[in-house]
A and B are shown apart, each in its own frame.
Chain A
């Protein structure tokens, strides 16, 4: 398919985000590339400190000073067809895009909702902010959105304050606010991590249903849970120590991981096969600790924990190499390791 037929919606290249601290500069994100197409879900998976959330905040222009995007571009195709660099826009121009064309939901909906206003008011406010609606119409639209995100009795529940709702319902409200402006991209940063597993299943199902009915919307889904990745993603980016270590289509990542970290992560998950005839086999744990962002190893960030490491892994940061179309790994030994 040519570039004309399948244009990118978001194209991030060479993104680096730095936070100066007393202990030195934290390179929270380094040399990050990401391509998001229309209707696609890209999952960014990683542990704490891997840079997955900072990547999202950088794209949204929400890095608090003294943190800053040190280099890179984030080209975004607007609804109007114009292509803009999100990293070079003024705060004013960004504001017009954020919440309108790119919406976001976070882990803890309670911190993103105002406790003093009803949820209906908050959704209506978002609608008025970005679309030319009168108050009454905005409220009616809010009720429609609440119904769409699966809240029963939406007309009544719109009058609830956030504290009167459960965690799962609050996340539905956040999704309703995010959808209110028909965004091209939904950035979802660990949206189900704080929820119980049966509620998580409901929210994941809701996001899948919304995406199916709204074919244009793309999702950037940040998570640390490989199960959630498997259920949600079309494309996967695995991050470790601020860098993407592997990326590719979801099936390939799970079937034939090409970076030792991804392989280790998948192998360490306890599953039914971890016990044979009732006897527990030790889990294939990754040894060592997650590196401190202030003290990253000089070469490959995973080298100190990698069973396949060689002395040369310590010499330089491995480049992100292309294995096949759409498939990349940051391991110098990928050809010999399978």
Chain B
């Protein structure tokens, strides 16, 4: 099946412009030559720590931030440089759900207004049709018609995230970027929202880029996983492969660092020491080599290419001899 969303060599650098009478600041390479593709109906997880560039990938992909270089394709069409008005047609197909449902809803609008706005912007339906659709949407996300006239502050965090999801679905998108959609929610509410997103994804056949630092949630909801570190892809593969047979030393470290909710589980040694280097001054060659227990002198010389293993599993590590 051909890709629905495809990015090729996508880069986003912040800063680095010349300043009057001063030396230019080094550019922050938030995203550095990242390529991947998402098939229709596929859920791809994007994992990594803060500064890995995962949020910037999501935003750049939707052109909420303009890429520095690279190509973004949607259903085969290059949308990297199309105009804002042409982009509107694609915005309908590509929606985003943000982390913080407190910040992403206008406090002055009722739920009905918030959802109605989505229809109005894209010129969908008449008044009565919209009203019916709003009720159907609310019910689909686990709210009810009586709540349509309420304001965001009258809802809990979990309910607000349901409203944000309803708004994203209002325009019947094919693809959703979900940026840490449950991280701001209470633990007992997270599973509700994950279940909702999983059922919507399945029923509507949505493709999704699921950005998260919570590996257990990614393992649950995603078909494929991309692991990022310092703006680059370290490893990519089917979810079972990545979790059962992680190949990149960084992926292994990340998986072993997640605390396991079982006091009898054997405690794994801390493998990663030190902090993530600055993206303004990334290490040469492999960006992970300064924290890697398996680094060789050659790792400093060239950027390791994504090497294909079996099963659509790719890893950016030159060591083929790791245990």
Contact = CB atoms under 8 A, between A and B. Distances in A.
B191 A283 contact: yes
Interface stretch (A69-77, A85-93, A262-270): A262-270
B82 interface: no
Main secondary structure of the interface of A (DSSP, over half): helix
Contact of A290 (B189, B199, B276): B189
Main secondary structure of the interface of B (DSSP, over half): helix
Contacts of B158: 289
Interface in A178-218: 196-202, 204-205
A236 to B, nearest CB: 9
Given A265-B188, A285-B191, A254 B275 contact: no
Contact of A197 (B192, B194, B254): B254
B102 interface: no
B323 interface: no
Interface in A267-294: 268-272, 274-275, 278, 280, 282-287, 289-290
B89 to A, nearest CB: 32
B272 interface: yes
Contact of A274 (B156, B213, B220, B272): B220
B69 interface: no
B204 interface: no
Contacts, number: 130
Interface stretch (B33-41, B172-180, B259-267): B259-267
B188 A168 contact: no
A15 interface: no
A166 interface: yes
B270 interface: yes
Interface string B247-270: 000000110111111111101001
Nearest to B213: A197
B221 to A, nearest CB: 7
Contact of B198 (A204, A226, A272, A282): A282
Contacts of A305: 188
Contact of B195 (A169, A275, A283): A283
B191 A286 contact: yes
B267 A231 contact: yes
Given A202-B273, A227-B261, A254-B261, A290 B188 contact: yes
A321 interface: no
Contacts of B270: 201-202, 205
Contact of A227 (B186, B258, B264): B258
A-B CB proximity, top 3 nearest: A227-B259, A285-B191, A196-B49
23 contacts: A166-B275, A166-B276, A196-B276, A197-B254, A198-B253, A199-B49, A201-B272, A231-B263, A250-B263, A251-B263, A254-B262, A270-B194, A270-B217, A270-B219, A270-B220, A271-B220, A274-B220, A278-B240, A280-B221, A283-B191, A283-B194, A285-B191, A286-B191
